[in-house]
Chains A and B, each alone.
Chain A
């Protein structure tokens, strides 16, 4: 008997109760829900606890309400230092000798700076504003701003002489983070595109190309160019509202992408422009980029190819030297810098990288914004930040720290049903999100999902207006980089110094 055989590998804390009854009722469609059941005969159904990932699809969809999933108290002996996931992973690797894979974002108990920052509000002497009665401006532009504006006088007033760089207008300072078609299903991409169009924001293709079904929404889509160049051609570049060069992402800084051949079906193949069933490798480095000068070369190649009509973004993971790197990117000619923190999600990454590499987005953002201001080049780029943004409070705090726009990936998937089981890399997503299997992708209705996404964006936007009103502001622009409106609770002096904020209780 193998050492691992004692305890279920995944979902080890789960035990199903009463689940079998529904099968006796002959709920044929539910047997799909119970796809993870090992033995399936009319009279006796045995759930395979090893395979349960606690995605809660069956629990949510059982018409009898008969299923519950509970921790298995006997799964592991308690030990503060050797926690269940440590034991499970050692057993697993002792068996396979492989690298551990995972999906979604870093779930470890690192300190959250968002949770130790609070926003200000007006009382008595500086009146707050009621967003129900007064106009509140959330409109945001993504793109480079000139160092100064020059005007000349015309017959009916001054005329702007300065030629402005291309910019994309967002109705609210939010966008959907890059998630590739291949990692997620086409229905997810459609839903994101529809919601982006409806909300006047942007979605991001990730590095898997742009499916023809998304062409009608292309003016609301940022197209990504990564090291594998999947789906990238002149047409792709011209359709997008903006082009993003992907250098890295928070879930796997310094690590490349690898879409296994199993996920490359006919449609994915057409969109990525690679043969069906072939592995899609995006190595960590772009092998034509070894310096800021090389990056500048690609930025301007994309600007030439799009005739300087679209902003070009560069996406990097938040790492130790992020401020200096961001300064280089700004000087290389990028119009937008996207920074993804260590809580950022992914369809697949080595677990050890996801959980131990990179820095929190709050710190990275504060450091980058500081550095760009010190160098007098903050206006040259818009900052998009992402990586574990959970609610509009995180959004407001990020903007106060200096972000122009906040991108959400995980939160968008959660809005569509994701339960964060972190098994995206298996291609068996029961919610039809991170899979290409037709029977699973059919579970996600793109119209309904788009509606849910649009609702989320609307809800967060309303909350942002509420926060602005409380702060006595009537435009998101006034909160941008206004760290005076943030206070730290329970932060060390070093933390507060990096974040550039005062301690709670310290007045203006």
Chain B
């Protein structure tokens, strides 16, 4: 195990040390006193690598990442999992805006709330199906332009009557599924989506995923499960067809 004290260390130096160590065969990292260093795990390609972060990592954590597993004991900032291909990120706090932008594979779990434009442009390709689970609530434009993958929004611990997500939920969505642990008001939805009830195949996917989520955070999965779930699907795979004149 390689332990790095990141106190006052520029991100470029920190990330170079991680890359060099991975090349030398190191697979287990603990980063202490992380305080805003960007790009941790960015472009890292090694499925056996585990990185434990104590503190608050900076923007673009795990961007273009392919394989590693990152656990954050704290909050994360913007752009976690940007264009990520494979791997897992577990955040034991909240996170910022544009998580999982263009994410194509892997899993991203956030215990708390997340900001705006989370899960936008997520896409799937063959066996690559990205999954992003948010324990708390999300800001506006959740799942904007979503083309594939699975977004799960649980809204745990929010005050009674508080909305699960901000406005424009699923705007421009043309693929994938958004699972919601409550039924949002229709007016908050994007025009391209509609709400549906869950069927058996949804539960076959969701049940083990919720267990995995609860396992990360020590939550009771039966209690998380015990609520009205629904899903958001695009009404059309071609939301922007018929606008043009050839």
Query: Which A residues contact B (CB, under 8 angstroms)?
Result: 92-93, 96-101, 227-229, 232-234, 237, 258, 260-261, 269, 273-275, 277-279, 281, 283, 287-288, 297, 300-301, 304-307, 350, 425-426
Contact = CB atoms under 8 A, between A and B. Distances in A.
Nearest to A99: B244
Given A273-B123, A278-B147, 12 more contacts: A100-B244, A278-B237, A279-B174, A279-B241, A281-B145, A287-B101, A287-B141, A288-B78, A288-B117, A300-B39, A301-B60, A304-B12
Given A233-B83, A281-B172, A287 B43 contact: no
Contacts of B237: 261, 277-279
Contacts of B147: 274, 278-279, 281
Interface string B42-59: 110100000000000001
A192 B45 CA distance: 30
20 contacts: A96-B245, A101-B245, A227-B121, A229-B102, A229-B123, A232-B64, A234-B45, A234-B85, A237-B64, A274-B148, A278-B175, A287-B98, A287-B121, A288-B98, A288-B117, A300-B39, A301-B64, A304-B42, A305-B43, A307-B19
Closest 5 CB pairs of A and B: A305-B43, A229-B102, A98-B245, A273-B125, A304-B39
A198 B237 CA distance: 42
A305 B64 contact: yes
Interface string B204-219: 0000000000000000
A426 B245 CA distance: 11
B242 interface: yes
A100 B43 contact: no
A205 B242 CA distance: 28
A278 B43 contact: no
B246 A426 contact: yes
Interface in B67-97: 78-79, 82-83, 85, 97
A228 B240 contact: no
A307 B147 CA distance: 30
Contacts of A306: 43
Nearest to B79: A288
A134 B67 CA distance: 55
Contacts, number: 126
A307 B104 contact: no
B64 A279 contact: no
Contacts of B245: 92-93, 96-101
Interface of B: 12, 15, 19, 38-39, 42-43, 45, 59-60, 63-66, 78-79, 82-83, 85, 97-98, 101-102, 104, 117, 120-121, 123-125, 128, 141, 144-145, 147-148, 172, 174-175, 237-246
Contact of B43 (A229, A234, A273, A277): A234
A232 B83 contact: yes
A266 to B, nearest CB: 12
A93 B66 CA distance: 47
A14 B59 CA distance: 58
Nearest to B125: A273
B211 to A, nearest CB: 28
B63 to A, nearest CB: 5
B121 A229 contact: yes
Given A99-B245, A281-B240, A287 B39 contact: no
A234 B64 contact: yes
Given A307-B19, A425-B246, A228 B63 contact: no
Contacts of A232: 64, 83, 102
A229 B48 CA distance: 26
Contact of B82 (A97, A288, A307): A288
A476 B42 CA distance: 39
B72 to A, nearest CB: 18
Nearest to A428: B246
A229 B83 contact: yes
Nearest to B39: A304
A233 B42 contact: no
Contacts of A277: 237
Contacts of A425: 246
A435 to B, nearest CB: 14
A312 to B, nearest CB: 13
B121 A101 contact: no
Contacts of B124: 275
